[in-house]
Amino acid sequence: MDIRFGTFNLYQFAAPPVAWYAPQNTYSDSDWLDKKAWVTAQLDTMACDVVGFQEVFSPDELETLVNAAGYPHFAVVDTPAKGDDGDNVYVGPVVAITSKFPLVSAEKVSFNDNSSQHLPLKEDTDFSRTPIRAEVQIDGAANAIVYVAHFKSKRPVSIPSDVCDNAGWNERVLAAMQARSIGNVASMLQRGAEASELYENISKDLHASSETPVVLLGDLNDSIHSIAIEALSNRGRVYDIDGVAWADLPIEAKVASYKLKLYDAFDMAPNPDGTPRTPTHYHRGEGGTLDYVFVSNALNEKNNNAAGRVSGFDVYDAHLKNDGVGNKKQSDHAQVVATVAFN
């Protein structure tokens, strides 16, 4: 039985008169109709069974859209946050999940109360967008736990520059650049903390039942070889466990370590021609990967007890190739879909 899991950054899904981040950021009625039509068509092209969405400012409208597109089950676990510029200006989007299969549950993922003891974080640090943990009841196959996430962007955190009002431009630029440097590090720390916290939650599921498939769908806003992605996946080499070198570990310890890793669906899917990875986002003309599907060891074909395997990996990026429409009525991200063949 093949099940297709997809991640879909919608690019500011905000039904007018809702504005995102600033009062002028709204859709005209005609543009909004075009955008909804494109999202519906893209969902049809992706042909997924389960989809995780990012950048949702209007969840009720999204639920109506996906229901009409053949997805009867939908959930969000948070409410879009308003800004200070008016009743219709929102500054905090949410993530969402939709499925052709029933959602047994859909819950918030929260920061651990002890996180600030181990990381340089404020005590009130939390996810910039609350992830979803959902259990999906898959007919004829094992139930799956599906996470949907959207990590902090790479934009620098806004740090006020410490400079007096009558300072000259040299001093003001110096202070601004120093604040920008700090803001970049703060952004990196936030994204890394989110990755670590999400892994802590996922690893509890993996530890509780290594046979239950876990799938993560997300715009993780960092590159494949970043520290954040390593913190999330723990896919790197393990040199020792509790002071015992890898070579000296008993087999059960080595097996346990593989059960607690997450695997990039791109690496797990068949790729006999060695086709390079297709970018999911472009910044100043340079392509990179920000959108991912990760799976647990329960979907690793090298696992003798696997519930299934990743049999396909697709990136839908036609709209990014200078089609003349622009991001607003489509998206600035490609959509990523992993096909899982359940046993």
Max mean pLDDT among 99-103, 179-183, 249-253 falls in 99-103
Express each pLDDT in 112-163 by its tens digit.
766 666 777 777 788 999 999 999 999 877 799 999 999 998 888 888 877 8
Beta partners for residue 291, in sequence order: 219
Distance CA 223, CA 91 (A): 25
Q: Which domains does the chain have, with CATH numbers?
A: 2-152+189-342 (3.60.10.10)
Residues in the chain: 343
The two three-digit tokens of residue 101, written as one number: 């299969």
Count of helix runs (H) and strand runs (E) in the chain: 7, 19
Helix residue ranges per DSSP H, 209-281: 227-233, 251-259, 265-268
Express each pLDDT in 41-60 by its tens digit.
999 999 999 999 999 999 99
326: left (phi over 0), alpha (psi -120 to 50) or beta: left
